[in-house]
Homo-oligomer: A and B are copies of this chain.
């Protein structure tokens, strides 16, 4: 390699090391503020975190980084780099180019707006008052439309926004896949509702001591493959997984006294995220490649563990007697099959985060279509409550009583996350593709789950997906793992098969 290349690579790696160190500490700090920090210190601490974040941002758009990237992205240079260095250059360049493309003044105005819009949203939701939030959201959409122009795109301006969250996937890829999934889901939902079969979920809402739930879950963690010496489980209002480094991936859940399934399945979900981060190759530690490659692939790992493993009859063949012994009073008259049915029941509801496995994607479709229309200029912000409710009626057959449980329910738009929602359904699509492959490669897949042994399954996921961190782009990775591009077939078939059995459909 020429001297200039070597020097540029060194420069990039030094900056990367520093940015990674700062980010790791900010990640820990973020966890602490949600999980442990006392109330009175938080607003001051937010400023301290802001000051450190600003330094990270400055490094990520610094002239030093720009110079290094200019050299390293020359095609004749780039092709001489190894896979890992190429990935590092690719990711830093993606981020640098996007950040640099927005004029500083515009970005500052936008930053101010996100703070204001977030507060306006909180109040609007609390007061069921979309009109008070509307001007903020209008400004937000205007910014995002401008940003899309600055970022640049080929076909659809929305592509430029989605690219921040799931690099490479465009409207023209997603539209046909989502259409298939939407049509088949609506059809399946109709058949389920007409089947006459009703699942009894009432016993899940008995009184379940939260300390006992906590103990049960702490015992379950290692059985799910989670390394408890490289993480911890705490309680928070909203469950999440947070990586500090490969040896420290923390998860949280919420314990509801009158809801057994929430903590249970949200914990399995977060463990799915955590296995990804705990499984990254050691040599990626301390670099920008040491995390999952995209939101969609990340969600595929959480959904895989939650639904494709955690909601199977085989999983409860392994664990139901433990659960029953833990809550003998509440579950003594509940058979394993009843329990399995209850945690898989389908019921259209207003709130996305409470939706079942089938209707969840329909909630996402509504958001995807609305965002796409807003950015294209086909939908206006003022019409959102109406559009929202029409789509709810069309897809789910129900209309929310008010906007607080309708168009105002999600925080995302208020802090500028437009182009994000579709990654949740991508996760479901990817996970079904992965399920199809893993069943072929591990013929005893369901037997092992039934025996309570997820070792081989975790090792397979680690080898095929987790270890690579961010080296491969999501589209590359899914093709490497499954031999196919993203498509709707596997999820559509999986849902059809699963619910046909559960609801005795023809």
> What is the interface of chain A, defined by CB distance below 8 A to chain B?
17-18, 20-22, 24-26, 28-29, 32, 36-45, 47-52, 55, 227-232, 244-248, 250, 285-286
For the A-B complex with A39-B229, A44-B285, A45-B244 known, give 11 more contacts whose Cβ atoms are closer than 8 Å: A18-B55, A22-B48, A22-B52, A24-B44, A37-B244, A38-B229, A39-B230, A40-B229, A48-B286, A52-B52, A55-B55
Bound CA–CA A239/B286 (angstroms):
31
Bound CA–CA A173/B36 (angstroms):
44
> Would you give the shortest CB distance from A225 to chain B, in whole angstroms?
15
Partner of A44, one of B22, B50, B247: B247
Pairwise interchain contact A41-B247, C-beta atoms closer than 8 A: yes
Bound CA–CA A260/B267 (angstroms):
37
Classify the interface of chain A: helix, strand, loop or mixed.
helix
Bound CA–CA A36/B45 (angstroms):
19
Bound CA–CA A248/B45 (angstroms):
9
Bound CA–CA A174/B285 (angstroms):
50
Pairwise interchain contact A28-B32, C-beta atoms closer than 8 A: yes
> Would you give the shortest CB distance from A35 to chain B, in whole angstroms?
9
Please list 27 pairs of residues, one from A and one from B, whose beta carbons are closer than 8 Å in the complex, sorted by A's number: A17-B51, A18-B51, A18-B55, A21-B47, A22-B51, A22-B52, A24-B45, A24-B48, A25-B45, A28-B32, A37-B248, A38-B231, A38-B232, A38-B247, A38-B250, A39-B229, A40-B227, A40-B230, A40-B248, A41-B230, A41-B245, A41-B248, A45-B244, A45-B245, A47-B286, A48-B245, A55-B55
Closest B residue to A20 by beta carbon equals: B48
> Would you give the shortest CB distance from A367 to chain B, in whole angstroms?
34
When distances are taken between beta carbons in the complex, the residues of chain B under 8 Å from A50 are 21
Copies of the protein in its oligomer: 2
Bound CA–CA A55/B21 (angstroms):
11
In the A-B complex, list the 10 residue pairs whose CB atoms are closest, starting with the nearest: A41-B248, A40-B247, A41-B247, A21-B51, A21-B48, A40-B230, A24-B48, A44-B245, A39-B229, A41-B245
> Would you give the shortest CB distance from A452 to chain B, in whole angstroms?
24
Closest B residue to A43 by beta carbon equals: B247
Pairwise interchain contact A41-B228, C-beta atoms closer than 8 A: no
When distances are taken between beta carbons in the complex, the residues of chain B under 8 Å from A244 are 37, 41, 45
Bound CA–CA A20/B228 (angstroms):
34
Known: A28-B29, A28-B32, A52-B25. A44 touches B229 (CB 8 A): no
When distances are taken between beta carbons in the complex, the residues of chain B under 8 Å from A230 are 38-41
Partner of A36, one of B36, B41, B47, B286: B36
Bound CA–CA A39/B246 (angstroms):
11
Pairwise interchain contact A44-B232, C-beta atoms closer than 8 A: no
> Would you give the shortest CB distance from A394 to chain B, in whole angstroms?
47
Bound CA–CA A20/B51 (angstroms):
10
> Would you give the shortest CB distance from A424 to chain B, in whole angstroms?
28
Which of A17, A37, A39, A40 has the most B CB atoms < 10 Å from its CB?
A: A40
Bound CA–CA A41/B22 (angstroms):
15
Bound CA–CA A28/B52 (angstroms):
13
Bound CA–CA A28/B45 (angstroms):
10
When distances are taken between beta carbons in the complex, the residues of chain B under 8 Å from A38 are 228-232, 247-248, 250
When distances are taken between beta carbons in the complex, the residues of chain B under 8 Å from A42 are 247-248
Pairwise interchain contact B48-A25, C-beta atoms closer than 8 A: yes
Which of A17, A38, A232 has the most B CB atoms < 10 Å from its CB?
A: A38
Bound CA–CA A37/B45 (angstroms):
20
> Would you give the shortest CB distance from A211 to chain B, in whole angstroms?
12
When distances are taken between beta carbons in the complex, the residues of chain B under 8 Å from A55 are 18, 55
Bound CA–CA A167/B169 (angstroms):
61
> Would you give the shortest CB distance from A20 to chain B, in whole angstroms?
8
Which of A17, A32, A37, A48 has the most B CB atoms < 10 Å from its CB?
A: A48
> Would you give the shortest CB distance from A48 to chain B, in whole angstroms?
4
When distances are taken between beta carbons in the complex, the residues of chain B under 8 Å from A285 are 44
> Would you give the shortest CB distance from A26 to chain B, in whole angstroms?
8
> Would you give the shortest CB distance from A157 to chain B, in whole angstroms?
37
Bound CA–CA A364/B44 (angstroms):
38
Closest B residue to A228 by beta carbon equals: B38
Bound CA–CA A21/B40 (angstroms):
16
> Would you give the shortest CB distance from A496 to chain B, in whole angstroms?
41
Pairwise interchain contact A25-B41, C-beta atoms closer than 8 A: no
When distances are taken between beta carbons in the complex, the residues of chain B under 8 Å from A231 are 38
Pairwise interchain contact A44-B286, C-beta atoms closer than 8 A: yes
